[in-house]
Copies of this chain bind each other. A is one copy, B any other.
Amino acid sequence: MSRLQYMNLKTLYKHIAPEKIILHSNRTTNVRCSRLFSKLSNWGTKKTNTKIKLVYLPEGMADPQTEQILAPLRAAVKKQGDLIRSLKENKGSDIEIKKAVGELKVLKKQLEDKELSLQPPSEIFNRSKFADLMIRRFFYDQSFSIYGGVAGLYDFGPMGCALKSNILEQWKRFFVLEEQMLEIDCSMLTPERVLETSGHVEKFADTMVKDKKTGECFRLDHLIKNRLEALIKDKKTTLEVKEECKDIIIKLDGMTTQQMSDIVNKFNMKSPTTGNDLSEPVDFNLMFATEIGPTGDQKGFLRPETAQGIFVNFKRLLEFNQGRLPFAAAQIGNAFRNEISPRSGLLRVREFTMAEIEHFCDPSDKSHPKFGDMENTTLKLYSACNQMDGKSPVEMTIGQAVSEGLVANQTLGYFMARIHLFMLKIGVTKEKLRFRQHMSNEMAHYAVDCWDAECLTSYGWVECIGCADRSAFDLTRHGEETKQRLVAERKLPAPKTVQVTELEMDKGLIGKTLRKDSKECVDKLSKLSIDEIKQVHDFIDNSTPDPTTGLTLCNIGDKQFQISKNMIPLKSYSKTMHVEEIIPNVIEPSFGIGRIIYTLLEHTFKIREKDEQRTFLSLPPLVAPLKCCILPLLDNDKFTPLVSFISKSLCQKGVSNKIDDSSGSVGRRYARTDEIAVPYCITVDFESLNEPQSVTIRERDSMEQLRIPVPEVVDLVYSLSQDNINWEVAKTKYPKFESQQNE
């Protein structure tokens, strides 16, 4: 995720209620888990069994009655949107616009809340049961918890790790392989200068205050908002103060540090956990700093995104691609952000895996050769315009969106459609996926257009993937800073003759005349532009040279030297150009893998009808951590050879599998494999031992079973797990098996 998206994140988090993670490391796992997650989900409350109403707009529109209720809210949003448009047209001041945008956001939030409250709940999400499963079966859990844990750091257990690995594998096939991208793998340790150039050293920061006694830190904007919201709810607060609080919350987003500090003082705000005094606000850079090498003079950071590694390798990559545009490079790897107060589980962490693509293209041609393959793909688009007008997202083909100019160009549109298809492929619920366009005030100044793929979770709509047209910003900055020509060549339609003027220093003459100063003079001269050299010429022409030496004292850079025009003649000639240099533009799809994993786990978490205790994950076979479990019906040595044979044969085909020969009924063992999302169970029973050998295979979601001949079972599971065929097809080929044992 780029800095651009980081700015967007800041906005996003405003909509997530603050939580604190407190770990109790010395309790038994189950107690600790439920405590941890109750804290996570219900900060400030004592509920432990959370059921969260998950609501999203269904296909089509709401009924007329609902629309009637929403109409005034929609109108209020639209009116405010129009105000902003007119302010912009009439060059309103920044502060006026910022305030108006802040008010727009509040109105949008009111509309969204109302919309949600009027919809019938489409689903109840039981977050405590979900969290229990995640931790009990070690999908993921807090790192170092035997040592008390560290907020914002998570370990993936065997199932989480396999899921992650499968998602990344599919990602590589879907993007890198199919698009012939150049995948690279760069260092995480990054020297300071690189991140100065990218802007991270200066701008990648949040403002915080500290508890003067305990040193506990709080993000300043969160602190103010939470305190004022509490005041608004407090019955003792006067109406006048309530209005003031509301006004401040609206304007908070655009405030300077000083303004926020004044508010802290005015309301005499204290530490929310201890009531102690607070320090003055300080900017806290979110990068982890370290020193590279033993001398202590080479400052470095852990990269906050993987993108910079691609930009600094641009020249090598272009060369690898034989100098041709467009091409895309990709990188999967970890990045780090020293969040002030990490929360929301995997959604906001200090160490995370990203997958980023940088598609380099000609700035004047952002068409995409494969756009035709995608143009009929329908996406749910939430345009900036609709956001300002109080309207809902709209279903539209990407072809239409690009041709209408809603999405800036084909390449951006192509990637959005590909992202949409990828997310569905790995199992994200279609209705819970939308693309939200950044409003102009959310985007970095250099960005042309930016769309976030957002997923609906129990924490609200969460940005999982950013997809931005970053123009030529990054390569331009790194090129300027390093004096490297980070450019590509574009063939001219016809050769062009241009007039070239070059400085031809007479270094011999300079050396002879200036002696020990000559090197410095040459260095400074070579940094001047042709226009500046011309100015020096003019200066010499208009001055009286030293009569003995014939030289003139001139300013060269920040110093003065005695020189003559002979030392710095300009040469002009005409040159025929066949190519011109361009700085490529960059389209950047940037995937937050941890967020995608979390979303996917929420979307596929299910509870069996009629049995609240049986939870399972309906992950698609393609990404399920284990594809298959092999169960002997009973703990009996007779079954062992066939069980091992099937397991080995699956391994040879690369199909991950597990033997579950633990005690317990088959039904109980099925339930256990359901919890870790195993899509297929092969059961070896007494019938399996008779010729012709056969086994049963059970599908997780439907719990249906088929009877399969042993020689065919490995190929069948392989094909099912590769998505080459699906269960419905398998059912047409093999007889149904009715279990003696009820599940």
Contacts and interface: CB of A to CB of B under 8 A. Distances in A.
Contacts of A484: 146
Interface in A414-467: none
Contacts of A193: 147
A350 B189 CA distance: 9
Contacts of A238: none
A154 B187 contact: yes
B210 A185 contact: no
A511 interface: no
Interface in A170-218: 172-173, 177-178, 180, 182-191, 193-194, 208, 210, 215-217
B158 A184 contact: yes
Interface in A305-343: 309, 312-313, 315-317, 319-320, 322, 329, 334, 336, 338, 340
Interface residues of A, number: 87
B187 A155 contact: yes
B482 A146 contact: yes
A242 interface: no
Interface string A149-178: 011011111101110110000001100011
A542 interface: no
A371 interface: no
A222 interface: no
8 contacts: A143-B309, A147-B194, A147-B312, A150-B298, A153-B187, A157-B184, A158-B317, A158-B320
Interface stretch (A284-292, A558-566, A600-608): A284-292
A144 B190 contact: yes
A137 B182 CA distance: 12
Contacts of A26: 483
Contact of A309 (B150, B155, B172): B155
A187 B143 contact: yes
A187 B351 contact: yes
A579 interface: no
A340 B340 CA distance: 32
A510 interface: no
Most chain B C-beta atoms within 10 Å of own C-beta, residue among A180, A189, A294, A296: A294
Interface stretch (A58-66, A92-100, A394-402, A650-658): A650-658
Nearest 6 Cβ contacts at the A-B interface? A156-B185, A158-B182, A153-B187, A143-B187, A217-B294, A161-B185
User: What does DSSP make chain A's interface, helix, strand, loop or mixed?
Assistant: mixed
A480 to B, nearest CB: 12
A117 B656 CA distance: 50
Contacts of A322: 662
A113 to B, nearest CB: 32
Given A147-B191, A161-B184, A187-B351, 4 more contacts: A150-B298, A153-B187, A189-B336, A284-B294
A572 B154 CA distance: 43
Contact of A150 (B189, B340, B659): B189
Nearest to A211: B295
Most chain B C-beta atoms within 10 Å of own C-beta, residue among A143, A158, A284, A658: A158
Nearest to A136: B319
A350 B208 CA distance: 33
A82 B190 CA distance: 51
Contact of A191 (B144, B177, B184): B144
A694 to B, nearest CB: 25
Nearest to A659: B180
A297 B177 contact: no
Contacts of A317: 138, 157-158
Interface string A477-516: 0100111101000000000000000000000000000000
A141 interface: yes
Interface string A569-597: 00000000000000000000000000000
A155 B185 contact: yes
A188 B351 contact: yes
A293 interface: yes
Copies in the complex: 2
A177 B654 CA distance: 8
Contacts of A656: 177
Given A138-B320, A155-B309, A157-B316, A187 B290 contact: no
B319 A143 contact: no
A265 interface: no
B658 A146 contact: no
Contacts of A191: 144, 147, 150
B150 A338 contact: no
Contacts of A298: 150
Contacts of A482: 25, 146-147
A164 B185 contact: yes
A210 B138 CA distance: 48
A122 interface: no
A302 interface: yes
A29 interface: yes
A183 B155 contact: no
A144 B481 CA distance: 13
A319 B28 CA distance: 12
Contacts of A329: 158
A138 B319 contact: yes
A680 B566 CA distance: 61
A351 B189 CA distance: 8
Contact of A292 (B295, B313, B338, B481): B338
Most chain B C-beta atoms within 10 Å of own C-beta, residue among A147, A194, A300, A659: A147
Contact of A138 (B138, B150, B316): B316
B160 A295 contact: no
Nearest to A206: B294
Contacts of A651: 173, 177-178
Contact of A160 (B154, B185, B217, B289): B185
A25 B315 CA distance: 13
B288 A189 contact: yes
A621 to B, nearest CB: 16
A478 B187 CA distance: 31
A173 B657 CA distance: 12
Contact of A151 (B144, B186, B293, B315): B293
